[in-house]
Amino acid sequence: MSNAINICMIDDDDIYQFTMKLSLKPLDDIGIVNAFNDGLAAIDYIKNHIDNPQKLPDIIFLDINMPVMDGYQFIEEYRKIKSKFDKNIVIYMLSSSIDPVDVKKVKHIDEVSDYLIKPIKKEVLKTIFKDFKEN
Amino acid sequence: LKHVDEALKSKTFKKFTHHIIKPDNTLITLEVNGKVLTDNQGDITAIFGTSQDITEREKKELELIEKNQQLNLAEEIANIGYWVLNLETQKFDWSDNTYRIFDFDIGTPMYLDILLSRVPIEEHVSIKEKINTFIKTKKFKKFTHGLKHNNKSLRTIEVVGKVITNEQNEAIEFVGSSRDITEELKIQEKILATNKSLEESAIKLSAQNKQLAEFNQISSHNLRAPVGNLKALLSLYNDSENQDERKEIFSKFETVIDHLSLTLDTLVESLKIKNIPNKDVQKLFFKDTLTKTKEILTAEILKTGAIIKSDFSIKNYVKYNQIYLESIFLNLIGNAIKYRSPERTPKINITSDIIDNKVILRIKDNGLGIDLKKHGHKLFGLNKVFHRHPEAQGIGLFLTKAQIETMGGSIYAESEVNTGTTFHIILN
């Protein structure tokens, strides 16, 4: 159980959520998979489970463009609460945009491990999990 | 000797000049003046006279003539005419070129009244006022006036000058020059027109640039997402061995393709609006457009109990493209109902206004509101949605903005979360 990796997907694109869930299926050691349609819903979830790190995600796949609270605004809120829980969450920011402005902006965010362009290939997903287990 | 003979015959002495060569070989000119003396019988008794060296004077006179000729030439070339106006007699002293500029025969005695007869009548009062002011202040200020030539062509003359005063410090004369600047003005106008058209091109170009950047942004964000989804679905479909799963994946294809075609249709629509501006403009009464909009939205209005009020007393019509105006009304009022607050009955207030001769339309609601600090920059973007609303597609405002801009107007919003939103539309 402690080896299981909790996944959180924050994206307003339901089709993307569907493909991600299917892609995760064949992988081993997947724990809780949460899907949220915007940043605010995800922040609310984290706040509600702040004392229960086992329920918190290990990896967050965060979309940039979303209603209500977008990816950047999520990071701002996340910064305010990250000292309150005992877990090192890995965040990947993703978008279908190949706009260099977005890429550059994301590279400057400390909390974010990398910028991924949608759709995420199977190989990339595998590498992400392999990296996570090794660290 | 001939001159002496003549003097002897006519018994009068006529002034003459002759040259002599001095011992140092220089040529000098002498002017001889004389008188014939006669006795009572009229017989000549003596001729006496003086010889004066006028070499220098002659030289000076020649120089003066030459200078004058040069000056005349310069006047002609520069289209300038010099003049002196005696303020007491109102008589002008004109240079030859002044006559040419004002199109009078050279040498005609010239008075202020005669000159004014060539100036358009509506300028007379102001010119006379100017002259009086110059006399009073003893300062001549540059001015321009119109001038009709004999062939009826209208010229523009620029006048500069100076006031000459006597010892009592009274203005006695104006001296100055008049210049025909008609051609110059024409060139100036041409330059200004060229400048204006250059500016217009620059504006058009930067608008096109903006459009391209927008299109770039749209294709980078809005087209890549569904295409990416299609790719992901295809790969999952190929990997899947479960028939039920395959069926489920396949049904998602339909959703993405629908989304993709809607995005493409919207893009094409927006390009159509922007590139073939529909200038089919007619007089439209706001009241009629609102009635039509309410009819279309009948179901929504009944279901939500929305109260729609309007006041078009400041301006009750606009000259606009009918399809666009109806689309603007439908989109904005439709949005006001769609993004209503669940806690309040939707109230929508539509008013017209005129600011700087432009017709303004305001649509105010008491709905959910938008945090413009966070979302303001993408309010009118394609596929941008701001609420967790199942019907939000992010197309309405994108097209509304394109329609308003193509008619030369603009749109902006004021909003407060949970209080409401007001859209301001500057129609033209």
- The reported pLDDT for the residue numbered A1 is 43
The shortest C-alpha distance from B78 to chain A (Å) reads 60
Chain A residues in contact with B387 by the CB 8 A cut-off are: 67-68
DSSP H helix total and E strand total for chain A:
5, 5
Per the CB < 8 Å rule, is A96 touching B221?
yes
Distance (Å) of CA B118 to CA B132, B237, B417: 20, 93, 71
List B289's β-bridge partners, or say none: none
**Dist. CA A96–CA B46, nearest whole Å:** 126
Check residue B161 and give its pLDDT: 94
Residue of A19, A95, A123 to mutate, interface with B, max B Cβ within 10 Å? A19
| Secondary element (H or E) of residue B136 | helix B124-137
Give the bridge partners for A10, in sequence order. Answer: A36, A62
Going edge to edge, which strands form the sheet with A59-63? A30-36, A5-10, A59-63, A90-95, A112-117
Please list every residue in chain A whose beta carbon sits closer than 8 Å to the beta carbon of residue B236. 19, 22-23
Of A18, A65, A73, the CB nearest to B221: A65
CA-based radius of gyration for chain B: 45
pLDDT for residue B408:
83
The whole-angstrom separation of Cα B45 and Cα B37 is: 6
Is A96 in the B-facing interface, judged by CB distances under 8 Å? yes
Cα–Cα nearest to B386, from A70, A44, A62, A88: A70
Inter-chain residue contact B387 with A16, CB threshold 8 Å: no
Q: What is the pLDDT of residue B316?
A: 92
What DSSP element (H or E) covers A34? Answer: strand A30-36
Query: Among the residues of chain A, which ranges form H helices?
Result: 14-24, 39-48, 71-81, 100-107, 122-134
List the single residue in A with minimal CA-CA distance to B251: A15
Window 211-230 of B: residues touching A by CB (8 A cutoff) are 217, 220-221, 224-229
pTM over 0.80: no
pLDDT of residue A78: 92
d(CA B125, CA B146): 13
Give pLDDT tens digits for B56-105: 888 888 888 888 888 888 888 888 899 999 999 999 999 888 998 898 99
pLDDT, residue B283, reads 92
Say whether the ipTM exceeds 0.90. no
B226-285: per-residue pLDDT in tens? 888 888 889 888 888 888 888 888 888 888 888 888 888 877 777 777 766 556 788 999
pLDDT of residue B393: 61
> Which of A47-51, A73-77, B35-39, B117-121 is predicted least confidently?
B35-39
Report d(CA B413, CA B404) in Å as an integer: 14
CA–CA gap between residue B203 and residue B210 (Å, rounded): 10
Residues in CB range of B145: below 8 A, 6 or more apart: B119, B123, B127, B156, B157, B159
Report yes or no: A67 and A29 within 8 Å, Cβ to Cβ.
no
CB proximity B252 to A under 8 Å:
yes
Q: Do A119 and B256 touch (CB under 8 A)?
A: no
pLDDT along chain B (428 residues), means of 10: 75 82 85 82 80 85 86 82 92 90 89 90 92 93 92 90 91 92 91 91 82 72 81 88 88 86 80 69 92 89 91 92 88 90 93 92 92 76 62 73 85 90 91
- pLDDT confidence of residue B279: 67
Q: How many CB atoms neighbour CB B115 within 10 A?
A: 21
Residues of chain A in contact with residue B244, where contact means CB-CB under 8 angstroms, are: none
H/E segment holding residue B267:
helix B243-275
